[in-house]
Structure 1
Amino acid sequence: MSRTFIRLTITAASLAVLAGCAAPVSTVSSGSSVAPDPIPQASPASEQGLQNWIRNFRPRALSSGISPAVYDNAMRIARYNPEVIRLDRRQAEFSRPVWEYLDSAASDSRTTKGRGLARTHAAVLSQIESRYGVDRNIVMAIWGMESNFGGNRGRMQIIPSLATLAYDGRRGEMFSNQLIAALKILQAGDTDPANMLGSWAGAMGHTQFMPTSYLEYAVDFNGDGRRDIWSDDPTDSLASTAAYLNRSGWVPGLPAVVEVQLPSGFNYSQTGRSNVRSGSAWASQGVRAVNGQTLPSGGIIAPAGRSGPAFLVTRNFIAIRAYNASDNYALGVAMLGNRISGGPGIVGAFPREAGSLTHNQKEEVQRLLNRLGYNVGEPDGAIGENTIAGIKAFQRRIGVEQDGYANTTLLKQLQQAT
């Protein structure tokens, strides 16, 4: 979860796609009496520490514009929740390869459900698309990725979770800001403390807004006077998502992703979403869209290296990444949106038989790159732009294809070089 929404390392979408989210949520709406998930028993010392922190935090909240009545009412339900600390500190032992992520993200079952719901909500989706210019199928795909179309919205009370994380978490200041934003939402009257439910990290509603992003982007699209992303009616959530993408630079009519066929001998050192070129420039090198369409401007990514499919990604891909700063996530949204619209899945074949690196092996790749002087940052098992650049530099040094892909072959090459 690392966007203006303040997406965290483990997002609601990642949990839904990679690990399975919370159990299906019961009916949630402002003023309802839905029972949230119970807060696990905390040690007396932890609970006392949190209550002391709440008293000390009160002046800061009030100086941020929160009224004493709103603060005191909200904090009445705040209890130390050891479960959110456990989840915040959890490290995955391995990560699934991109093809398994995309298989799940744009699965047949999710596609079928998305198509059915797109028909159900066709009228409001048309209105949202008309107002914000964002492809309705992309909005539907984000809904599917974030909460399985509302089925996994989360049932933890947000105020206890954020208070616990602000007091005892690894990112206390960030969660303190989220807590103040949540209090501002309560002060605006959009919901109440008992019904402000969501994920352990504070993501809320059908499309999993963090409180700060809710304040900035959430809209009252149905005109009932509340920006209600907790209701079973997804209207405000879907419109708020479109508003977010619109303000993140969405270009109407532009595809987010175009699957491409790369020519024999293509120089993979050119790959990377930041290496933006015109469609005609790519075409002059022999790059072709697999569906035959004219190529737009963008960069080319090859998430499984030279052995897998390649994609031209545009400004709209970057807008999706603003929602969740992950290439895999943005690819998943684009592929699911395409399938919901009636289009095909990915045409190219991934190197499934070759397997992939575990989380620990990816950390080892990063440690070895650092040892060789490529300075890819703290080893965390996440293969981002810095790591890919380091891999390409190492591949250039040893005279192999510079595709930036971390696999077992690369790991062996690094081990031999150190």
Structure 2
Amino acid sequence: MIGGLAKFSKRALIVAAAAGIAFAGAIENAAADAKFQSWIADFRGTALSSGVSASTFNRAFAGVTEIDPEVLQKAKSQPEFTEPVWGYLDNRVNEQSIATGREMSRKYSRWLGAIEKSFGVDRNILLAIWSMETNFGEIMKRDDVMRDAVRSLATLAYADPRRAKYARTQLIAAMKILQKGDIDRSHLTGSWAGALGHTQFIPTSYLAYAVDMDGNGKRDIWNSVPDALATAANLLHKNGWQSGQTWGYEVVLPAGRKFPSGSRTIAEWQSIGVVRANGKAFPRGGEKATLKVPDGRGGPAFLMTRNFYVLKNYNNADKYALGVGLLADQIGGASGLRKEWNRPFTPITMKEREELQNHLRELGYYDGKVDGKIGDGSRNAIQAFQKQMGLDPDGHPSMEVLTVIRKK
């Protein structure tokens, strides 16, 4: 009996300790929520002094009782700045996105023509932005991606010191969108960072550039594709988009040369041996351009024109602007890059990536979405399989891994 009592006492202590930890965690969460609610109450004065009505503020924050921890997790990693250029582009410029872009070009041809006429921005650029931002609206259907914009921005404003100023400004702008009536509260959704609609506009940019293209009295970038694409075109137009001109050229660099930094005319670049990779002549020798080698001298090289930098007003990352440009060209019928990226593996197609994800799922390594896009879940699954097979666990979606897994 003494031994039984000892076991019981030990078990009781473990249960009590666990309960104590859980209770302490609940107290900590309650304290955090109370602090968040106090922050909301303090922010009310800021919002009202910025032109947000009391009724709009109440409507915006109804039901927002605690921060969104997933927003803080997503804020730690942005693919534009963490992925290698080939990894970033493989997920975004591929046979699937090109084919869908061409399909959408046909479907919205009339609207795209009207938008081009109004704003002077090439339709393929707009389709590429739509693809890059929300996969032609498909991402907006995913509850695991789209979030309550007010809660997301309030989370960043309260709990992310790096983004607090940005988030406070965007939160006020989001409430002004709600106040204007372009969207109702239940549909004021966006990304973890508060980007809205098909073309992912931050709220301040929405207020500055949103367009009612379909003429229904609302600037509805959530439900109206014409409004969303025209809004993107308006942003580019007002930031200096040069109609009828390209974003840049893939080029071949002469061996053994050092190249000047900064902008030079195309004619100056030609004079030191830079030529187009497709063998065609440059159309405008007086056009200014900057040399970019995002994968080093051994990878593709580009002369970037003014429109490349206009695209960066949408997302201030070279990889993003390059992705839009390359995808737009291929939606329009151009071939891909002449020079391959310096991938440390043999690449596979999107269909083969889906096949790889399916095999990994069947073998119990992967439980994510089978879509051919390689994120952390896919990379971790590939690494686990590689370790099991005694391979170098690099996590790359390679032909080498696919060949091995096909034999399992």
Output the TM-score relative to the length of structure 1. 0.70
1:317 maps onto 2:304 in alignment: no
Compared with structure 1, are the counterparts of its residues 310 and 91 closer, same or farther at alpha carbon in structure 2 (3 Å cutoff)?
Answer: closer
The superposition leaves residues 355-389 of structure 1 with CA deviations (integer Å, 9 ceiling, x where unpaired) of 9xxxxxxxxxxxxxxxxxxxxxxxxxxxxxxxxxx
Match of 2:160 in 1: 169
- Asked if structure 2 preserves the Cα contact closer than 8 Å seen for 1:157 and 1:193, the reply is no
How many pairs were matched up?
Answer: 308
**1:90 positional shift:** 5.1
In structure 2, what is the Cα distance between the partners aligned to 1:60 and 1:104?
A: 41
The superposition leaves residues 16-44 of structure 1 with CA deviations (integer Å, 9 ceiling, x where unpaired) of xxxxxxxxxxxxxxxxxxxxxxxxxx922
In structure 2, what is the Cα distance between the partners aligned to 1:90 and 1:252?
A: 34
1:324 alignment partner AA: N
> Higher relative contact order at CA 8 Å, sep ≥6: structure 1 or structure 2?
1
In structure 2, what is the Cα distance between the partners aligned to 1:193 and 1:169?
A: 24
Gap regions ≥5 residues in structure 1: 1-41, 356-418
2:339 alignment partner AA: G
**1:230 positional shift:** 1.0
**1:317 positional shift:** 0.2
Gap regions ≥5 residues in structure 2: 1-27, 347-408
Match of 1:293 in 2: 281
**1:99 positional shift:** 2.0
**1:55 positional shift:** 1.3
In structure 2, what is the Cα distance between the partners aligned to 1:300 and 1:120?
A: 36
Given candidates 194, 201, 210, the residue that maps to 2:202 is 210
Match of 1:67 in 2: 53
Given candidates 262, 278, 294, the residue that maps to 1:303 is 294
- Asked if structure 2 preserves the Cα contact closer than 8 Å seen for 1:77 and 1:159, the reply is no
Given candidates 314, 318, 322, the residue that maps to 1:331 is 322
The equivalences for 1:23-102 within 5 A come to 43-80=29-66, 81-89=68-76, 95-102=82-89
The superposition leaves residues 263-315 of structure 1 with CA deviations (integer Å, 9 ceiling, x where unpaired) of 222213x25xxx11111111111211123131542111111121111111000
Match of 1:258 in 2: 249
Q: CA RMSD in A?
A: 1.9
**1:354 positional shift:** 8.4
In structure 2, what is the Cα distance between the partners aligned to 1:194 and 1:346?
A: 43
The superposition leaves residues 155-184 of structure 1 with CA deviations (integer Å, 9 ceiling, x where unpaired) of 211111112221222222221111100110
**1:199 positional shift:** 1.1
Task: Determine what percentage of the aligned residue pairs are the same residue.
Answer: 44
**1:102 positional shift:** 2.1
Match of 2:353 in 1: none
Compared with structure 1, are the counterparts of its residues 353 and 90 closer, same or farther at alpha carbon in structure 2 (3 Å cutoff)?
Answer: closer
Given candidates 321, 325, 346, the residue that maps to 2:337 is 346
The equivalences for 1:337-376 within 5 A come to 337-353=328-344
Structure 2 SS opposite 1:102:
helix
Output the TM-score relative to the length of structure 2. 0.72
Structure 1 SS opposite 2:250:
strand
In structure 2, what is the Cα distance between the partners aligned to 1:149 and 1:211?
A: 20
- Asked if structure 2 preserves the Cα contact closer than 8 Å seen for 1:77 and 1:160, the reply is no
**1:77 positional shift:** 2.5
1:224 maps onto 2:245 in alignment: no
The equivalences for 1:75-224 within 5 A come to 75-80=61-66, 81-89=68-76, 95-153=82-140, 154-170=145-161, 171-224=163-216
Please tell me whether Structure 1 or Structure 2 has the larger radius of gyration of its CA atoms: 2
**1:57 positional shift:** 1.2
**1:352 positional shift:** 2.2
